Amino acid sequence: MGGHEGGEEASAIAIQDLSQTFAPMVTLPTEAELLKAVCHANQLIYEQNESQQRRDLARMGTTLVMLLCAQDRVMLTHVGDSRIYQIVEGGQGAKLLQCTRDHELANHLMDVGVSPSVARARADAHQLTQALGPKHEQAIAPALQSIPLQESCLFLLCSDGLSDFDVIENHWQEHLLPLLHPDADLQQGLDAFMDLGDRLNGHDNLTAIMVRCLLPPSPATTLEEPNFFSDIPSTLITLPEPEPSAQPPEPANSLIGDFWFKGG
């Protein structure tokens, strides 16, 4: 969080706690389970702030974006102004979708009726209204979404150092859309896009994860269960089919995914 101390420590606490909760899972959690896990991570950081008697700008905190994927569905959650984007190339043309809405003062004011021009003109328009750690868990309301995967797509999870000044909106077609191709090198693509962001938005740290989800036309063989919190080797996975039931469901598309991380 801009201006606050201890962001690296707060981020590490959140990542460790959430990874321990979700890495062993092979099915998606319920919304209640996801909310509980995020609030628990918040509480760990909050208690660290309290035990160290941190106050004001010394109070550590972190934003959060998280994507969980199983079968043909993803769950997203976020707190703060880090973002998740989705790039799809469908029958009606390629699209860039911003999946999250920043938890900032300007958006809050617009929600209660203030005109966009007035809300965005404030000097504190971009002040965070939520983050993990500074306040008790009762003060946060993580945004949750469940999205069906109906076509192959690319997700970009990033800090505001990359998304500021419309870098993504202005350059996604050239840099991100080609990465939807199964043979595109996701690591090279992420490196190049981060270099672009650093040139255009060098005022802030940049952190990003790309997740490519491919829906093949025919079922793929099961490989290994994914661990979305590992230390980022290149990973190609096919998620397991659901257990058979008395009334077998219609077969879901098999999902192949790979992901890369880069941060600073």
pLDDT digits 0-9 by tens, 28-87: 999 999 999 999 999 999 999 999 898 888 899 999 999 999 888 999 999 999 999 999
Angle (CA) 70 72 75, round 5°: 55
What is the distance between the alpha carbons of residues 82 and 264, in angstroms, rounded to a whole number? Answer: 14
On the 0-12 / 13-18 / 19+ scale of CB atoms within 10 A, 116 is exposed
| CA-based nearest residue to 14, from 41, 36, 38 | 41
Give the DSSP H/E element, type plus range, for residue 205: none
Using 50 as the pLDDT threshold, list the residues of the chain that sit under it.
Answer: 220-242, 244-255
Q: Provide the whole-model pTM.
A: 0.82
Report pLDDT for 7.
86
